[in-house]
Structure 1
Amino acid sequence: MITMTRTPLDLEDWYDPTHPVRTTLRLFSEQRWRMTGAAFTYAVKHSPVWVMPVLTAQVIDIVVDERPLSELWFIAAFMAVLILQNLPLTSLYAHLLSHSVRTVETNLRMSLARRLQELSIGYHRRMSAGVLQAKIVRDVENVVESSRQTFDSALGAITTLVGALVITAFRTPEFLPVFLLAVPASAGLIVVMRKRMTSRNAAFRVQIEAMSARVSEMTHLIPITRAHALESRELDRLDTTLVGVREAGIRLDVLNGRFGALAWVTFQLLSAACLVGAAWAAYTGRFDLTPGDVVMLSSYFVQLTGSVTVLMTLAPIVTKGLESIRSMGDVLAEQDLERNAGKSQVSDVRGDVRFENVGFRYDDGAAPAIGALTLDVRAGETVALVGPSGSGKSTVLNLIIGFLRPTSGRIVLDGVDMAELDLRSYRKHIAVVPQESLLFEGSVRDNVTYGDNELPDEVVVAAVRDANAWDFVEEMGGLDAVIGERGSRLSGGQRQRIAIARALVRNPRVLVLDEATSALDTTSERLVQEALERLMAGRTTFVVAHRLSTVRGADRIAVMHDGHVVEVGSHAELVAAGGAYAQLQTL
């Protein structure tokens, strides 16, 4: 039964790493009203910073001019109200900003995770898991923290800057041109330094991703490393990577420090010049300045230079966030996708599979991995693929699962070209038992029912029994027994039987067994083989095995060599024929 479906547009459909500023703004577009409310709230709660110098000037002039004390008490009350409003408004601001930023953070991580699920298996084979993990964890964190710091710091600097300039323009307009010198000075510094900071941030990110990949690889290799006393070699390899991170980090930190120091020196000199100039104007009677105005102008210029310095020091933070936007584009803008949108849904599978002149070549392959393969598999039939390493057996299995698409010819499922099917819906009807079972930390029940947690216990127990796993599961404490990370509390045979139980509860119509017993001892192999026979009954099954003893009972055996099927038949027929299979049997 075939139905059609379409998926809605998501973040990854418009994400553009070549325009990181535009992309960042669009990331926050759905939060614009909260961000606007946060900005307004911040401006009000931050107002004491730029209003207090005016009030301070008034207090000084009241004292110098010996004006009535009632004016002093009025200003004191106004100061108290102005300061106290900061407390409730800060809470409101924090809530609005946090909701916006955390929503974007969640959306980014979910979009990255969704894209990783959509990208082809070929992409995942090319990319390091450590690098991808760094993008979901570190790059998203960089974007979030850069956005938060930029919003916080920029709002504070801009409101102070605008408030100081407006009040100065009303009270002492003669000093406004002096203040405005700070803006072009900061713009010039940013233009000069930004390009270098961008390149240094990019170099640092590359080193961090290399380190993540190396650490991930090292942790996976620890059993092999320890078994062969290669700890020093692994540490040397990691040390080389860490030194690269250190050197790139030092270069970045030195550049950021130089940038900050240059900004500070520039504006401190201007601040000192403003103070001396205002004092000289008041002393000589120029511009009709009062002592309070001198204090106000000095305070405002300190705030002005501080605000512009903050805006300038945001450049490294912004650059870091924009570089992470570009980095996440490696995933979100990647087009090596398994495209299922708009294709036919598969609601039922009989299990007829036909290869029609199927060819496949890997992108980096000098020769085709599969060439003109034709094979007709009937529903419920078990077909074994045998042959030397590199003959194309695993490629055929990946084509059956849909991890790979034929580069020529086609694969037909129940009379429908698989290129027309939504492979996600098709895979709900298949089960894969690989050579190394993939389990996760959790209970036996969690691992067996993976993807369908609503299954009743009696169904799960029946699957565990049929997989010859109930004896050891019962000894461990039943379905709620925790099996450890990657099934560390289980032996290889036990892990494989849990994987078979997982396949059984799915009640698949197509079954893929990839060297499912090759890594087991004789006893474990016998138990697993019994479980597999129950699993294979009545299902279309594809088996890859190096041990010919495990494929004797297949309905048909296809012998492969250099991507071609050279013989097909039952075990007895192929032995009697004395061809390639008989030679493998002899070897």
Structure 2
Amino acid sequence: MADKVSGKAFDLKLFRRVLTYVAPYKKIFWGAFSITLLLGALSTTRPILTQRAIDNYILEGDEVGLLNITLLIFAVLVAESIFQFLFTYAANYLGQSIIRDIRMQLFDRITRFKLGFFDKTPIGTLVTRAVSDIETIASIFAEGVLVIFGDLFKIIVMVFAMFWFFDVKLVLISLSVVPVLYIATRWFQKAIKKTFSDVRNEVAALNAFVQEHISGMNVVQMFNREKAEMDKFKVINNRHRKANIRSIWYFSIFLPLIEILSAISIGLAMGYGGWAAINSIDSWTLQQGFYKMMGWDTSQFNDSITIGTLLAFIMFINALYRPLRQLADRFNTLQMGMVASERVLKLLDREEALEPEGKSEVHEVNGRIEFKDVHFAYVPDEPVLRGVSFSVEPGETLAIVGATGAGKSTIISLLMGFYPYQKGSVSLDGTEITDLKLENLRSHFALVLQDVFLFSDSIYNNITLREDIPMEHIVDAAKKIGVDEFVRQLPEEYEYNVKERGQMISAGQRQLLSFLRAYVTNPPILILDEATSSIDSHTEQLIQNATDLITEGRTSIVIAHRLATIQNADKILVMDKGKVVEEGKHDELLAKGGYYARLYEMQFKEREAS
């Protein structure tokens, strides 16, 4: 999911939207904003005080005056340090608070996306958006916009102070390189935007590749694909390296250029200032002009450039170019944050990816399910279901059988509202499921899948999914299902952490836990999707007993490869190539000698052969 980003060097509309997240923390924002203004004003005081110390006290031999102004300079330094601490803390607190809000909003959004969206989007890409991209957004506030504004304000204050306190010709000559700096900065901004976009794309690709291959490491090792997959990784990793090197290349040009321009400014100041001092050229400042205009006494001003003036002016140039140098890094940070925010906000704006749902609710469910002429395709023009129709009465057990790819699991996905069907009708107790809120619809079902997913958490939390269900109720249900015995053998019993995807217990044990999870919710409708495949005979017997227990008295839909497990079903639906080809009870379908009978005979022979 390589999102395209705006081609603008700086997207003002996007920036305004990012700033809307400041609203809950506007007091902190304006507090930090005020501090950065104060820091900008304080930055001009030390060079001026230094000039006064040299011209008025050192050259005049005034020790008391020198001591007093030295203490004043020290006090200014302490004040700057305190305000810098407050600003840094407030800006970072603001950034972390904002990304917390955005991350919660994004995760909530992701949980409501259609399953089809996840079919097409690599998990690693979504992880990049939800973790590293959002973390980068924090830098917009902690190291970006507020710091940049502070630096810009500092530059403006310094330039004004230079014209106010120092000879205008000296200032103009020293700053004659500013047009070159402006052109270079504009070029840098445009070049770096595209580079940062490439970097974020390659980070997402890298995360997606690593996540996928770590998850499928058993396949990689089983088929000796280590070297081949390493070669693929090298290609992706090299693209990521090249994208970063391109950004470094631009910085390698821009930063030395600023150093050169800074040196030229100092050289021009030293050259003209020294020449003016040697030749006693009259100095004229805006402050002098203002005093003359107001008719005030101007005798306090020096007529020519002094040593203190020249030293203070050089301090001003260094102080002026320091934020100019930092602006490159600040802009780097801001631009990275803007690129990341554009990607995150685009994901938040994916309205078409949200699951469509109705507004109605049903609270008392009998369990009647009906499909009428349902058509569905995951990909246009590649139908998976072709006019499927059937019904399940309350309390009945419907079994669905058929070859792989016949559309069995797709029926379940449509019934649960995971995918929208293109044509036909699916109803629950006579209400079209598309008219129901998804949370309400799914609250009436419990689903047990063949591939059981367990979180890296305790058995208790995996069963309850953190719902408030008493432990006594869980243990009682576990004994009925036949799960309690194996749980008691684990080191911490129901508090045992099964780790990621439940890898610390066997497939059969995971399957039994999924039955227990379904049983404790006491659903009116139960769905078992291939729940007895790929397990040993002992566990299959336990699961069969659990199936008999939890299907009793409720509507149940069972998808099974092993036909022996569904002989007692009230109705069997036989599917082939997206269509219902047979329907009836086990004995009726065997008597027909059709598709079901051939499936049953094939499995019976396989069992005899084994």
Relative to the length of structure 2, the TM-score reads 0.88
Structure 1 residues 33, 184: CA separation in 2 closer, same or farther (over 3 Å shift)? farther
Bigger Rg over Cα: 2
1:455 is aligned to 469
Tell me if the contact between 1:463 and 1:502 (Cα under 8 Å) persists in the aligned partners.
no
Aligned match for 1:558, one of 563, 573, 597:
573
Measure, in 2, the Cα distance between the counterparts of 1:516 and 1:526.
12
Name the counterpart of 1:298. 314
How many residues matched? 569
Deviations along 1:72-128, one digit per CA (max 9) or x if unpaired, are: 233223223222223443443233223211111101211121111011000011111
Contact 2:32 2:146 in 1 (8 A): no
Shift of residue 240, structure 1, vs aligned partner: 2.2
Q: How does 1:31-50 map to 2 (within 5 A)?
A: 31-45=25-39, 47-50=41-44
Cα gap change, 1:278 to 1:121, in 2 (>3 Å): same
Q: 1:528 maps to what in 2? A: 543
Q: Quote the offset at 1:262 in angstroms.
A: 2.5
Query: For 2:488, which of 461, 471, 474 is the aligned residue?
Result: 474
Distance 1:173 1:346 in 2: 82
Q: What letter matches 2:373 in structure 1?
A: N
| 2:496 aligned counterpart, secondary structure | coil
Is the CA contact 2:158–2:316 (under 8 Å) kept in the aligned structure 1? yes
Kindly provide the amino acid, as one letter, of the partner of residue 108 in structure 2. Answer: R
Contact persistence 2:448–2:518 (CA under 8 A) = yes
Deviates more, 1:112-121 or 1:384-393: 384-393
Superposed, 1:43-62 pairs within 5 Å as: 43-45=37-39, 47-62=41-56
Q: Per-residue displacement from partner, 1:472-508 (whole Å, max 9, x unpaired)? A: 1111143222223322221111111011111111111
The CA distance in 1 between the partners of 2:175 and 2:360, in whole Å, is: 64
Determine the C-alpha separation between the residues in 1 that align with 2:255 and 2:148.
16
**What does residue 235 of structure 2 align with?**
240
**Higher RCO, 1 or 2 (CA under 8 Å, sep at least 6)?**
1
Partner of 1:344: 360
Pair 1:346–1:73, CA change in 2 (3 A): farther
Structure 2 residue identity aligned to 1:234: E
| Alpha-carbon distance, 1:215 to partner | 0.5
Q: Which amino acid aligns with 2:476?
A: A
Q: Which residue of 1 aligns with 2:479?
A: 465
Q: 1:19 to 1:555 in 2, by over 3 A?
A: farther
- Residue 567 of structure 1 aligns to a residue whose secondary structure is strand
1:379 has 2:390 as partner: no
Pairing partner for 1:255 from 250, 253, 256: 250
Instruction: Quote the residue 2:344 is aligned against.
Output: 328
Task: Give me the whole-angstrom Cα distance separating, in 2, the residues matched to 1:38 and 1:585.
Answer: 75
Letter in 2 for 1:335: E
CA gap 1:81/1:377 in 2 versus in 1, 3 angstroms: same
Give the 3 Å change call, closer, same or farther, for CA 167–514 of structure 1 in structure 2: same
Q: Which residue of 2 aligns with 1:9?
A: none
Q: Does residue 567 of the first structure (1) align with residue 568 of the second (2)? A: no
Aligned ranges for residues 20-419 of structure 1 at < 5 Å?
20-45=14-39, 47-63=41-57, 65-66=59-60, 68-151=62-145, 153-172=147-166, 174=168, 175-178=170-173, 181=176, 184-286=179-281, 287=283, 288-339=304-355, 343-362=359-378, 364-419=379-434
Secondary structure of the structure 2 residue equivalent to 1:278? helix
Judged with a 3 Å threshold, the aligned counterparts in structure 2 of structure 1 residues 560 and 328 are, in CA distance, closer, same or farther, namely: same
Larger displacement relative to structure 2 (160-169 or 337-346): 337-346
Partner SS, residue 345 of structure 1? coil
C-alpha deviation, 1:421, in angstroms: 0.8
> Which whole-Å deviations, capped at 9, do the CAs of 1:516-538 have from their partners, x for residues lacking one?
11111111111111112211112
Question: Which segment is superposed worse, 566-575 or 316-325?
Answer: 316-325
TM-score, reference length from structure 1: 0.91
AA matched with 2:185: I
Instruction: Pick which of 196-205 and 102-111 moved more.
Output: 196-205
More off after superposition, 107-116 vs 72-81: 72-81
Cα separation, 1, equivalents of 2:251 and 2:362: 56
Contact 2:58 2:66 in 1 (8 A): no
Q: Distance in 1 between matches of 2:550 and 2:425?
A: 28
**How far apart are residue 181 of structure 1 and its match?**
4.5
* Equivalent position amino acid for 1:467 in 2: I
Contact 2:433-2:441 at 8 Å conserved across structures: no
User: Using the alignment, how far apart are the partners of 1:188 and 1:419 within structure 2?
Assistant: 58
Distance 2:530 2:503 in 1: 20
Kindly indicate whether the alpha-carbon contact (under 8 Å) linking 2:173 and 2:268 is maintained by their aligned counterparts in 1. Answer: no
Residue 46 of structure 1, CA deviation: 5.9
Q: Cα deviations across residues 103-154 of structure 1 (Å, max 9, x unaligned)? A: 1110121112111101100001111111111111111122212432224642
**1:12-34 deviations in Å (ceiling 9; x for gaps):** xxxxx994323322233433331
Q: Secondary structure at the match of 1:376?
A: strand
Partner amino acid, structure 2, of 1:297? F
SS of the aligned residue for 2:26 comes to helix
Give the equivalent residue in structure 1 for 2:552.
537
Q: SS of the residue aligned with 2:233?
A: helix
CA RMSD of aligned residues (A): 2.2
Q: How many Å separate the matches in 2 of 1:388 and 1:366?
A: 21
| Separation (CA, whole Å) in 2 of partners of 1:550 and 1:365 | 35
| Gapped regions of structure 1 (runs ≥ 5) | 1-16
Q: Distance in 2 between matches of 1:378 and 1:510?
A: 11
SS in 2 for 1:546: coil
Task: Find the aligned partners of 2:193 and 2:87 in 1 and give their Cα distance.
Answer: 31
Unpaired stretches in structure 2, ≥5 consecutive residues: 1-10, 284-303, 603-610
- Match 1:487 to one of 486, 489, 502: 502
